[in-house]
Homo-oligomer: A and B are copies of this chain.
Amino acid sequence: MTLDWTERFQGTAALPRAVRNRLVDVARIIHMDEGAQVFGPANVPDSLFFLYEGRIRVSQSSESGREITLYRVDAGESCVLTTACMLAEEAYNAEGVAESEITAVVLPKPAFDRLVAEEEAFRKFVFAAYSKRLIDLLRVVDDVAFGHMDVRLAERLLALTGDLKEISATHQQLASELGTAREVVSRVLSDFQKREMIAQSRGRIALIDKNALKILAGSK
Contacts from A to B (Cβ < 8 Å): 12, 60, 62-64, 66, 68, 70, 80-81, 83-85, 87-88, 90, 92-94, 113, 116-117, 120, 123, 127-128, 130-135, 137-138, 140-142, 144-146, 179
Contact = CB atoms under 8 A, between A and B. Distances in A.
A124 to B, nearest CB: 9
A133 B130 CA distance: 10
Contact of A142 (B81, B83, B93): B93
Contacts of A135: 84, 88, 90, 92
Contact of A134 (B12, B117, B123, B134): B134
A177 to B, nearest CB: 12
A38 to B, nearest CB: 17
Contact of A94 (B116, B131, B138, B140): B138
A141 B138 contact: no
Contacts of A123: 116-117
A140 B92 CA distance: 12
A137 B179 CA distance: 15
A90 to B, nearest CB: 6
A128 B87 contact: yes
A125 B202 CA distance: 51
Contacts of A144: 141, 144-145
